[in-house]
Structure 1
Amino acid sequence: DGEPQGTAGQPMLNVFQRESVTNVCCVVTRYFGGVLLGAGGLTRAYTKGAKDALDAVGISTMSLWTLWDVPCTYPLFERVKLEITACGGVVRDTAYGADIRLRAAFPAGGAEQFVPRLTELSAGGLAMEAAGEEFLPGPRESANGT
């Protein structure tokens, strides 16, 4: 529609390249400006939109996590969930029956740290079973270094 070429896509891409961010999609919707802003104004508007979006969501790195089925009794349920979290894991699913079975995901080293805690909590009565691996995002980090 007569807008200057190279004022939106490339400046937005540069924001992500400077932060070494890959495999993302960013959409910036501009309601005002066009030729009234000029090429410099458009470039600044799109760059700021992309940077504001990145700062708002942060950056997360994908890594390989191990999945485990963790049996649990009802009295130990809340404590087991707390211990999973304390070891850097997350509860992905919970199945309720006569007892509870949690599907937990742990980053590298987290499962090894959790095993003795589960043994201690259950007095050796519970043992978790390997259930595979999955690529998952790690904790979010601020894009602006804070």
Structure 2
Amino acid sequence: MKARNKRLALVAGGIVLLGAAVALVLSAFQQNLVFFHTPSEVYEGKAPAGRAFRIGGMVEEGSIRREADGLTVSFAITDTARIIPVSYRGTLPDLFQEGKGAVVQGTLGADGRFTATEVLAKHDENYMPVEAQYAIDQAHKAGMTVQQ
């Protein structure tokens, strides 16, 4: 084999390896990509089925219910237009409370209940995710009423 053919084979092999590495990185990135949706978007079917995503809004007043095991909590997230029931098993953040902003990550079940794997609460009295604030503002402008 000539030196030129050897170089060509090495370059081709390098390109194949680089392509494989890029494909693996993009695959890992796609699997870890988590989108944010409002309760209204979830109700409209815009959220991905069978895939993890985030819902943000306000914790509905009077919706927090704790199970006897002490770890399972159910509550509702609202954007003042729609309400999504959420169940979570784990320890809630100290700042998590009714009427305050929260973002939950998990999956939506066939029954419409969101099963959260992570709950994020506000960090001060002025905090609300930008997307959640926008959704609440849009719901107020549209004059929507809260519906389940």
| TM-score (ref. length: structure 2) | 0.30
Higher strand share: 2
User: Relative contact order (C-alpha < 8 Å, sep 6+): which is higher?
Assistant: 1
| TM-score (ref. length: structure 1) | 0.31
Higher helix share: 1
